[in-house]
Amino acid sequence: MKKRQFALSALCLSILAFALPATAQKKYDTGASDTEIKIGQTMPYSGPASAYGTIGKVQAAYFKQLNEQGGVNGRKINFISLDDGYSPPKTVEMVRRLVEQDEVLLMMGTLGTPSNTAIHKYMNAKKVPHMFLATGASKWNDPQNFPWTIGFNPNYNSEGKLYGQHILATKPNAKIAVLVQNDDYGKDYFNGFKDGLGAKAASMIVAQASYEVTDPTIDSQIVTLKGSGADTFFNITTPKFAAQAIRKVDEVGWKPTHYLNQVSASVGSVLKPAGLDKAVGVISMLYVKEGADSRWDNDPTMKDFKALIKKYAPEVSPDDGNATYGYAVAQMMVHVLKQAGDNLTRENIMKQAANIKDFQVPMVLPGVLASTAPNDFALFQTMQLVKFDGKNWVEFGKPVSVR
């Protein structure tokens, strides 16, 4: 009798021993569990950069709807987005709260170059994934020294370079005027632009003017730039000032070849207020689909997006470039989480993020694929030049590869 009991229990134990490792495949770090994944974010919902708050709002709506549909691999996303007012000390405080008190698994889409600079060292010291930053500064692509940080936006520096190279190729005798926002963002673009022009930068750039985000208007700067006799204009401005610049350029009767940085290329939030007719011929770069672009009227992801914000964020306009951008980032995040499966350790999530192979984010232009490698965290490495025709951005030329 005893022998049989012993054999039976041995058999059960050995079956268990085989079964347990299979269920023990689930691995969690702080912030992840069977039922929930905690994601943290800081966003300027107040202060001078509050227009970008739309990004966080759309992402919150996205995760809310996703949770109602069952979440990611059966886990709900607990998305905690805090206001940092675009002030770096506040960002530090909020991020420390998210990491140390709320114990999030990772940070997604934190916005702002100075804000992210303030927490860059901290996130890597604490080994918390610092993912898909809402800024295009070149310093986020540094896996050697900062293996836990991965950006999202195509590099501002590379974009500036693209325009510089385009001018060299199409208009080598151009006289260029530049309007630069006086901060990290503006400088990054400008430096790339000068790189793109190479040795001819000094002779080609005949005028430059800067402005502060607190300035009421940039009218005086436009007058100066026009007065320099330039025939090409590189407009490095954030949305409000981009709209002012486009309008003022038209008002003063200046007709340069007009390059506009991608951040302000939204038809809905920039070109429409400025006046669509005034923006005809403006050249920019596009990688996310635009709500106002009629090409995507029947596109499934665009339809989902419009329905989402109608239901969960009705104050957001579907034409707002920030809104589709936020949606794209959320889609990217969900893709990485899905790839991670049940192994929700921070290390594995970064591993998945570092090994994205030609992924087409539905809200990103078809053909612009996201790819990363362990030694190169730049997500989008092809850029598409577009020109405005009065209604939509129209692609011209082939997508260019940029590093």
The residues in 190-229 that bind other proteins, with binding defined as CB under 8 A, are 209-212, 214-217, 219-221, 223-224, 226-227
* Interface with other proteins, residue 269, by CB under 8 A: yes
Q: Which stretch, 182-190, 290-298, 337-345, 383-391, contacts other proteins (CB under 8 A)?
A: 182-190
**In 229-288, where does DSSP find H-type helix?**
239-251, 272-274
Total of chain residues touching other proteins, rule CB under 8 A: 64
CA distance 10 to 3: 10
Cβ atoms of residues 232 and 167 within 8 Å: yes
- Nearest residue to 302 (alpha-carbon basis) of 386, 366, 237, 232: 366
> To the nearest whole angstrom, how small is the minimum distance from the Cβ of residue 119 to other proteins?
8
CA distance 164 to 194: 7
Task: Show the tokens assigned to 181.
Answer: 């926002």
The residues that bridge with 42 in the sheet, in sequence order, are 82
- Pick between residue 244 and residue 372 the one whose CB is nearest to other proteins: 244
- Nearest residue to 288 (alpha-carbon basis) of 127, 123, 126, 134: 134
The residues in 233-252 that bind other proteins, with binding defined as CB under 8 A, are 239-240, 243-244, 251-252
Amino acid (one-letter) located at 167: I
Q: Which stretch, 165-173, 264-272, 345-353, 366-374, contacts other proteins (CB under 8 A)?
A: 264-272
- 8-state DSSP, 215: -
> To the nearest whole angstrom, how small is the minimum distance from the Cβ of residue 240 to other proteins?
5
> To the nearest whole angstrom, how small is the minimum distance from the Cβ of residue 32 to other proteins?
20
Task: Show the tokens assigned to 399.
Answer: 């997508």
Cβ atoms of residues 49 and 91 within 8 Å: no
Binding residue (CB under 8 A) for other proteins from 53, 129, 164, 192 = 53
Q: Which residues bind other proteins (CB under 8 A)?
A: 45-48, 50-51, 53-54, 82-83, 85-89, 92-93, 96-97, 100-101, 114, 117-118, 120-122, 182-184, 186-187, 209-212, 214-217, 219-221, 223-224, 226-227, 239-240, 243-244, 251-253, 269-270, 272-274, 315-317, 320, 322
